[in-house]
Amino acid sequence: MCGIIGIASNKPVSINIINSLKKLEYRGYDSAGLATLDNDIINEKKCSGRVEELEKILFKTPSNGNVGIGHVRWATHGIPNVVNAHPHSSEQVSVVHNGIIENSDELKNELESKGIKFKSQTDTEVVTLLITESLKENKPLNSVFKTLKKLKGSFALGIIFKKFPNIIIGARRGSPLAVGYSKKENYIGSDSYALKSMTNKISYLDDGELCVLTKDEVSFFDKNLKKVNKKILTMSENDVSAEKGEYKHFMFKEIVEQPDTVNNCISEYVDSLKKNINILNFPIEPQKINKIVLIGCGTAYNSCLTAKYWFEELTSIDIEIDIASEFRYRKLKFNPNNLYIFVSQSGETADTAAALDLCKKNNVKTCSIVNVIESTIARNSDWVLPIHAGIEIGVASTKAFLGQLTVLYILCLKLAFVRKDIDEITYIKNISNLKKIPDAIKKCLKNENEVQLMAKEFISAKGSMFLGRGSSFPIALEGALKLKELSYLHAEGYPAGEMKHGPLALIEEGLPVIVIAPKDKYFEKTISNMQEVIARGGKILFITDNKKESLNENIRFGFRVPHIDNLLSPILLTLPLQMLAYHVALLKNCDVDKPRNLAKSVTVE
Ligand code: M6R
């Protein structure tokens, strides 16, 4: 949830730390800081707010030093201010931290009872002070090792030492940590993207591991402090390239990239010559799968919910959906013939990772559908189906959602076919329908100006509702989630048929109500529910793929997406909702790529 970077070099590092922090800002952006070892002192600079504030401070008072660490924060313990910003330093050490130390209160009490004083409200400062204490009797690596034994929680750490000015120690438990290699320079970072401009040679720490880096070498140790060797991976340009280019915001660039996202999934999984889907090596023989359980958070959960309708329609498999933060605490009856599928863009979401761990402990088969293939969730699951969307930087997930939907759809088709739930003609027809999606997305994107007009209806709105039935219900949830996270406007996603059981009371004159009504078996029912809203003064914004439905005086605006087939309509109906959230946020002057209080990768519970 925070971003960390560390550089050991033969030249000053502060500028490269700032550049990496700018790349890590998607992980947290309420405060920033760095510390370098400068003429035998720890030189710490911190600010509340964005990295550009830190850059201004550095411009006025530069930091020297060839070894340093940096941090961008998403506050968990203590409000976002300068004192709580990382690094947290003592006379002897300086620490940056991503994650949560769950027993920090207990450890703090112990240290305070020895007369040790704290400056901040963070959980991180206990790490600084425990290492400082341990350094009185131990060398750096042992001090960190002994401190780690006292910590509970999930975290990644970067640590520098005043008396050992050439080294950085990195440690990982739960939260990710990458190591990068270059000539006379080595790095640690929360992800490979942060290291992108400096190297394409990367290793990843496994859970419980530590590393010690100097400018010339990196050593790795396992959780028992035994030396281990690491594979060095070479990242391709695609793995690391993410620039805004001609676009004002990453989010819009990512919306526009969606035809490629779907195309990438198709070319990865569909053998066009043989008209077949290349998904092999199922962890459970398809015929024997009793139930599929789909688990995710936020947008990823919405993709699971959408897929439920596909699995029910096309397969004979029982299907269950759960929110990861609920799943991990439920009293479940695990079944070895169930396949547990975890959906996550980042592959680092703490709740989803914990739900996966629970499944592993119960010896059931797991699959992950992720964007980041080197992520914790991907590495810990039995079977991985990547979505190939490329790096997603905007905090609001867009192209990852369509990638997740595409892979889930492809998986569903394959299972339906190999289990003989659908015949070959239906299988091939559904594959060829999917291939029409990228061009249909392009058509939707061309009508952006219609969405811009719709967006104006939200400027002075007090709230809004998104309604849909069937597979349009999860799309309503996704539309509402996008709008609230980007424009801070209350938005409820609801099954249209459920309105009369309570939420109809919210409808008042002029309330924007987005009705998602593709021409499917629910169409007439949704229209009736819409009439109930109109009768109570709701302002209707109508989204459909129905060519025949003409807009009337009761419908304020309409947006028509191409019709390919009812099964695939959720993918196309998502497009206007993503653009709507984007344009409302722009009109309300909200920070589109970095909405308040949020971060891209939620690595805390
Ligand atoms: O990386 P993940 O897909 O596991 O993230 C899950 C959610 O945190 C994420 O989808 C979140 O809801 C997005 N900000 C929504 O746009």
What CATH number was assigned to the domain covering residues 238-435? Answer: 3.40.50.10490
Q: Which of 249, 323, 341, 345, when mutated, tests ligand 1's pocket best, judged by the most ligand atoms within 8 Å of its CB? A: 345
State if residue 397 touches ligand 1 by the CB under 6 angstroms criterion.
yes
Q: Residue 379 has what pLDDT?
A: 87
CATH architecture of 446-605: 3-Layer(aba) Sandwich (3.40)
Q: Are 571 and 228 in contact (CB under 8 A)?
A: no
Topology (CATH level 3) of domain 3-237: Glutamine Phosphoribosylpyrophosphate, subunit 1, domain 1 (3.60.20)
Q: Are strands 218-221 and 210-213 parallel, antiparallel or unpaired?
A: antiparallel
State if residue 352 touches ligand 1 by the CB under 6 angstroms criterion.
yes
For the question of residue 600 being annotated catalytic, the response is yes
Asked if the domains at 3-237 and 446-605 fall in one CATH topology, the answer is no
- Which stretches of 135-191 are DSSP H helices? 140-150
pLDDT tier for residue 40 given thresholds of 50, 70 and 90: confident
Q: In what order do the strands lie in the sheet with 31-38?
A: 41-48, 31-38, 67-73, 3-9, 185-189, 178-182, 201-204, 233-234
pLDDT per residue as tens digits for the range 300-358: 999 999 999 999 999 999 999 999 999 999 999 999 999 999 999 999 999 999 999 99
Best CA proximity match to 172, nearest among 94, 97, 85 = 97
Q: Per-residue pLDDT for 419 more than 60?
A: yes
pLDDT per residue as tens digits for the range 473-486: 999 999 999 999 99
Q: Residue 281 has what pLDDT?
A: 86
pLDDT per residue as tens digits for the range 85-114: 999 999 999 999 998 899 999 999 999 999
- Percentage with pLDDT > 70 across the chain: 98
d(CA 449, CA 192): 37
Those residues whose C-beta lies under 8 Å from the C-beta of residue 564, and which sit 6 or more positions away, are 433, 436, 437, 440, 572
Q: Give, to the nearest 10 degrees, the angle between helix 298-314 and helix 472-487.
A: 170
Query: Between the CA of residue 398 and those of 335, 392, 441, what are the distances in Å?
Result: 33, 8, 13
Q: Residue 440 has what pLDDT?
A: 97
Q: In what order do the strands lie in the sheet with 88-89?
A: 88-89, 93-101, 153-161, 164-173, 210-213, 218-221, 227-228
Which structure tokens are listed for 249? 């915001």
Q: Per-residue pLDDT for 242 more than 80?
A: no
Q: Residue 28 has what pLDDT?
A: 87
Q: Are 165 and 67 in contact (CB under 8 A)?
A: yes
CA atoms within 13 A on the CB side of 111: 23
Rounded to the nearest angstrom, the distance between the alpha carbon of 345 and the centre of ligand 1 is 7
Model pTM?
Answer: 0.83
> How do the domains of the chain map onto residue ranges?
3-237, 238-435, 446-605
Atom of ligand 1 nearest to the CA of 396: 16
d(CA 100, CA 603): 9
Those residues whose C-beta lies under 8 Å from the C-beta of residue 429, and which sit 6 or more positions away, are none
Q: Per-residue pLDDT for 549 more than 80?
A: no
Q: Residue 1 has what pLDDT?
A: 73
Query: Between the CA of residue 488 and those of 400, 542, 587, what are the distances in Å?
Result: 22, 22, 12
State if residue 377 touches ligand 1 by the CB under 6 angstroms criterion.
no
